[in-house]
């Protein structure tokens, strides 16, 4: 049974299928975990940390590339999201947690071409052109630039591509407006709040 348990990596971000996730591995328990994943070519589960615990659903990742290995065992890696899962039980026998998980996929039919095109158009300000609109998980490709963890967790849990695209279209206007306001605040702060850059700074 233990061989079937999925190593779990709690993080403050939500990984989605087909989304890349660069990681710096520095804790001993996770150096051990990723070392085993690299040796065996398997997956590990990325789950959203919540207080002292984790949310009960996540996405598996595989290591796409080892960018750098440090003398002390730390690693810079790039991973990619694969399969969604829910956690039935957590095992704490090793230094890192492992989960008895159940994988899930979409249960409802996919989205229409019209809805796919509408979602792609809505995401154009933040997503590169050239996406395959026929991809059955287009919603996850479009969500890639969005950093809001709660929204990403909602997208992870939905089991309908149509519902994900509709949720994305509804979410984007407020998100883009908030991003624009945050950028304006950063720009104002950089100019010392007076429309001029602080002395010594070159724009």
Same domain, 45 and 136: no
Strand 44-50 with 6-11, pairing: parallel
- pTM given for the model: 0.88
Task: Show the CA angle centred on residue 129, arms to residues 124 and 132, nearest 5°.
Answer: 110
User: Per the domain annotation, does 149 fall within a domain?
Assistant: yes
User: Per the domain annotation, does 168 fall within a domain?
Assistant: yes
- Structural domain span for residue 178: 113-190
Cα 152 versus chain centre, distance: 7
Domain boundary among 104, 121, 153: 104
Q: What is the pLDDT of residue 3?
A: 53
Residue 28's CB: how many other CB atoms inside 10 A?
A: 13
User: Per the domain annotation, does 150 fall within a domain?
Assistant: yes
User: Per the domain annotation, does 41 fall within a domain?
Assistant: yes
How is residue 138 written in tokens? 């287009």
Same domain, 144 and 94: no
Q: Which long-range contacts (CB under 8 A, 24 or more apart) does 33-36 make?
A: 33/7, 33/9, 33/95, 33/96, 34/63, 34/75, 34/77, 35/73, 36/7
Same domain, 9 and 72: yes
Same domain, 49 and 28: yes
Same domain, 71 and 135: no
Q: What is the pLDDT of residue 146?
A: 97
Same domain, 67 and 145: no
How is residue 163 written in tokens? 């519902």
User: Per the domain annotation, does 29 fall within a domain?
Assistant: yes
Q: What is the pLDDT of residue 192?
A: 61
- Residues linked to residue 80 through DSSP beta bridges, in sequence order: 20, 62
Same domain, 164 and 99: no
Domain boundary among 46, 79, 104: 104
Q: What is the DSSP string of 63-121?
A: EEEEEEE-TTS-EEEEEEEEEEEEEEEEE-SSSS-EEEEEEE---S----HHHHHHHHH
User: Per the domain annotation, does 182 fall within a domain?
Assistant: yes
Q: What is the number of structural domains in the chain?
A: 2
Tell me the backbone φ, ψ of residue 195, rounded to 5 degrees.
Answer: 75, 5
Same domain, 87 and 176: no
CATH number of the structural domain spanning residue 69: 2.30.130.40
Instruction: Name the stretches of the chain with pLDDT < 70.
Output: 1-3, 191-203
Is the CA virtual torsion 125, 127, 128, 129 positive or negative? negative
Same domain, 85 and 149: no
Tell me the backbone φ, ψ of residue 167, rounded to 5 degrees.
Answer: -65, -40
Q: Are the C-beta atoms of residues 133 and 116 closer than 8 Å to each other?
A: yes
């Amino acid at each position: 049974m233990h061989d079937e348990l999925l190593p779990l990596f709690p993080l403050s971000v939500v990984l989605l299928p087909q989304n890349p996730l660069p990681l710096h591995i520095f804790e001993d328990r996770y150096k051990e975990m990723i070392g085993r994943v690299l040796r065996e070519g398997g997956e590990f589960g990325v789950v959203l940390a919540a207080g002292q615990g984790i949310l009960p659903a996540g996405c598996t990742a595989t290591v796409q590339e080892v960018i750098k290995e440090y003398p002390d065992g730390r690693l810079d890696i790039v991973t990619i999201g694969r399969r969604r899962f829910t956690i039935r039980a957590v095992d704490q026998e090793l230094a890192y947690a492992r989960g008895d998980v159940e994988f899930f996929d979409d249960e409802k039919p996919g989205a229409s071409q019209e809805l796919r095109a509408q979602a792609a158009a809505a995401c154009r300000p933040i997503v590169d052109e050239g996406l395959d609109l026929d991809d059955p998980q287009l919603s996850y490709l479009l969500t890639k630039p969005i950093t809001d963890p709660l929204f990403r967790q909602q997208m992870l849990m939905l089991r309908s591509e149509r519902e994900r695209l509709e949720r994305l279209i509804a979410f984007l206007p407020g998100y883009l407006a908030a991003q624009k306001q945050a950028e304006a605040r950063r720009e104002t702060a950089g100019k010392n709040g007076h429309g001029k850059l602080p002395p010594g700074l070159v724009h």
